[in-house]
Structure 1
Amino acid sequence: MGSIGTESPKVEVATIDVTATKGLIQNGHVYLDVRTVEEFEKGHVDAEKIINIPYMFNTPQGRVKNQEFLKEVSSACKKEDHIIVGCQSGVRSLYATADLLVQGYKDVNNMGGGYLDWIKNEFPVKAPPKVKNDL
């Protein structure tokens, strides 16, 4: 089915939509948000079990991969946990999901469309309160 890679192992990443994700996180799946802390703090998926571990960091030179990503995930999740990986639009989460599968995580899915799709569907979010200007 998949191609055989000589440089790096190839894995099949399962991508599910935001509606399927919503159902799974309501049934106890862990939601792993791989966006930056700044993105996460502006608003994120409302989930009981949610973890924010950035897959990439913003630097003056552009985005760079978080070299501690797999170590940080392994300290927060077991390889048997049911995990859904999400980001802003579905790109970083795709790479993060592949990395986790290569590391031996058994049940990891990528949330296609990311947080942008989640908002578009008007699913519950947690965001800081809007500041009102009463001037």
Structure 2
Amino acid sequence: MPARFVIEIWIYAMSLLTIVLPLYYVNWNISKIPLPLAIVVFTPPVIIITFFMPKKFLLENGVVKLCSLTRCKEYQVLEDKGFVDRKDVWKRYMFCSGWRFPLSAWALCPDGNMYFSTLRCNDKWRVLRIKNKEEYTLWLCG
């Protein structure tokens, strides 16, 4: 368990670095950036990661909760279609809106599919039909 926690922290840090390092590279010397500008440049990536990066999901009593580090959204489960063992699902959500990262996703596609995968995804996807304001087909992994 502690090893998995260290791996998750490492992945969160690397995802933050993928956003911050190009900004650092462009500015060459970070110490020459005025503090207000540094705050404006580096705060949005931190907010994006804490608000959108999937952390966990809970499925109980006909309700599924999809959670990031700072928020949870609830959906009513209409139908559980079971598990699907697919390794190519990530190709489907790469061009949808939302969080897309090679190891995790919280993406909503225009065709009515929603993809939610945490860092523990092992390519065994659970397919659910859910409803909040609209109906979606939810692909859960993790």
Shared fold (TM-score greater than 0.5)?
Answer: no
Larger Rg: 2
Task: Please identify which structure carries the higher helix content.
Answer: 2
What's the TM-score once normalised by structure 1's chain length? 0.28
What's the TM-score once normalised by structure 2's chain length? 0.27
Greater RCO, CA 8 A, separation 6+ = 1
